[in-house]
Amino acid sequence: MLDTDFFRRWMTAAAASVDREADHLTDLDSAIGDADHGSNLQRGFAAVKAVLEKDAPATPGALLALAGRQLISTVGGASGPLYGTLLRRTGKALGDEAEVTQEQFAQAFAAGVAAVGQLGGAQAGDKTMLDALLPAAEALALSFDGAADAARAGAEATVPMRARKGRASYLGERSIGHQDPGATSAALLVDALAETADGEGA
Ligand code: ADP
Ligand code: MG
């Protein structure tokens, strides 16, 4: 079972990973965007970590919803509302259970990913975070490590894609040949999840 502390540790691990990889994310965004993805997420997840240190939501759903609201209010770029929606909707779908099964979480996460698609209007193959999130959501019911691998492969698969959503789409053909920053950060978040789950029963 996954309890509230599991999700708190996931958010802490995600914040650490975004911190470590901030320069890399910003480099990717400088190639096909405006060079702020690393600093956007660094600011957002630092705020998530801070709010979770002073506030202690009682359930996994409440914790993810709070983290999502925090991202929406602190990240200015497109990625803030999108990641915020992912976490809020996932949290909402978990309801008010004190602990959830991996399968419940996988279903909730899939609802969160679907909400990202609705908000941003992107689909698989548009060279966005969804290219990492969709395969991860599919793999998550079976395994956390499988989800992390699927997200990483999904992010790498954005290299030859032409961007059809977000800032990178303004570049047209010139967006081809670069890995999408948002798909790359999405893979980091799912990797942090797998890391958290690995630490669990070990
Ligand atoms: P901004 O583009 O406003 O500078 P960021 O640099 O923080 O915001 O985030 C850019 C990332 O957001 C992109 O790499 C892409 O993955 C994601 N993104 C942008 N627009 C959309 C969208 N409509 N749907 C899904 N993801 C999107
Ligand atoms: Mg940007």
Task: Give tens-digit pLDDT for 50-97.
Answer: 999 998 899 999 999 999 999 999 998 999 999 999 999 999 999 999
Mutate to test the pocket of ligand 1, among 39, 74, 86, 165 (most ligand atoms within 8 A of CB): 165
Ligand number nearest to the C-alpha of 82: 1
The structural domains of the chain, with segments of one domain joined by +, span: 2-197
Mean pLDDT over 180-194 rounds to 98
pLDDT digits (tens, 9 = 90+) for 121-174: 999 999 999 999 999 999 999 999 999 999 999 999 999 999 999 999 999 999
Q: What is the pTM of this model?
A: 0.97
> Does 202 have pLDDT greater than 80?
no
Residue of 26, 32, 71, 79 best suited for mutating to test ligand 1, as the one with most atoms within 8 Å of CB: 79
The residue whose C-alpha atom lies closest to atom 9 belonging to ligand 1 is 79
Q: For domain 2-197, which CATH number applies: 1.10.1660.10, 1.25.40.340, 3.40.309.10, 3.40.50.720?
A: 1.25.40.340
Nearest residue to 44 (alpha-carbon basis) of 88, 81, 93, 97 = 81
Average pLDDT of the segment spanning 10-29 = 98
Q: What is the pLDDT of residues 99-122, one digit of tens each?
A: 999 999 999 999 999 999 999 999
> What CA–CA distance (Å, rounded) separates 32 from 169?
8
Tell me the C-alpha to C-alpha distance, in Å, between residue 186 and each of 18, 54, 172, 189, 201.
Answer: 10, 26, 23, 5, 24
Q: How is residue 95 annotated by DSSP? A: T
- Measured distance CA(125)–CA(160) in Å, rounded: 10
| Encoded tokens for 74 | 């602190």
For residue 200, the model assigns a pLDDT of 67
